[in-house]
Each structure stands twice: as C-alpha cells, then as structure tokens.
Amino acid sequence: MDTIHIRGIRAHCLIGVFDWEKQAPQPIDMDLAIGCDLRPAGQTDDLKQTLDYKAMADDVTAWAQASRFELIEALAESLCDKLLQTYPLAQSVRLTLMKPHAVPYVDNVGLTIERQRAQSDHKN
C-alpha cells in the first residue's frame, strides 16, 4: 500500500476535561498518513485517481474546529472515521494528534492511532 502524508495541520477547537479548556479554542496539531493505491494516479497523471490533499486538510481542520470532545482520543477516533467515510480511496488512516501545552511543564502531549477500512467496505 502507498501512503500520502499531510503534516502540520493546525486547528483550534474546544477540547478538554477542565472547565477552562471548554471556554476558548485550543490549538491541535495533526499529521496524517493515508494508505491508498497511488498507481492509477501515477499512470494517468489524473487528480481524480488520487486523494486531494488540500480537500483532506480543509476537511480535517473544519471537522476538528466544529467538534466538542473532552478527550483527544475521541477527537482522533472521530476524525479517522470521517476520513474513511468521506474518501473511498483511503484504505487506512494513521493520525497523530498533538495538544501543545496541555500540561503546563510539557511542550506537547498526544497520540497516534491507525484505523483501516473494514474488509466489507473495500471496493473491487
């Protein structure tokens, strides 16, 4: 499987378990690695045969900014689900999500999750 990388996506969203975190949007940094078959795009030089990086970055940013979660785990799960539902060419999504300064004496906290399209969802 081939991989498309989109790194350094920044969104501002309401996320956190403490009341002060729910008052103002906080930055969330995201990196995506999308597993897909890039051969058709490489052979045809046709954007319709690949994933539109800008559209994906725009969607992830908009979805994160519209979200309301307490846990970054829940936000990450939601974003992976939406990507797999919205982009049929995506076979897997690896998302790294970082929440800068969530802990006062730490630069970043975050996680990486990877989700794959269910076998029944694969297009033949």
For the chain, the domains span: 2-118
Please give the structure tokens belonging to residue 44.
């045809």
From 22, 54, 99, 123, active-site residue: 99
Q: Are strands 92-100 and 108-116 parallel, antiparallel or unpaired?
A: antiparallel
The confidence band for 118, taking pLDDT boundaries of 50, 70 and 90, is confident
pLDDT interval class at 124 (50, 70, 90)? very low
Give the CATH fold of the 2-118 domain.
GTP Cyclohydrolase I, domain 2 (3.30.1130)
Alpha carbon distances (Å) from 109 to 8, 15, 98, 121: 15, 13, 6, 33
Does the pLDDT value for residue 123 go beyond 60?
no
State how far the Cα of 78 lies from the Cα of 45, in Å rounded to an integer: 32
13-38, pLDDT tens digit by residue? 999 998 888 899 999 999 999 999 99
Per the annotation, the verdict on 48 as an active-site residue is: no
Question: How distant, in Å, are the alpha carbons of 12, 53, 96 from that of 39?
Answer: 35, 16, 26
pLDDT digits (tens, 9 = 90+) for 81-115: 999 999 999 999 999 999 998 888 999 999 999 99
Share above pLDDT 70 across residues of the chain, in percent, rounded to a whole number: 96
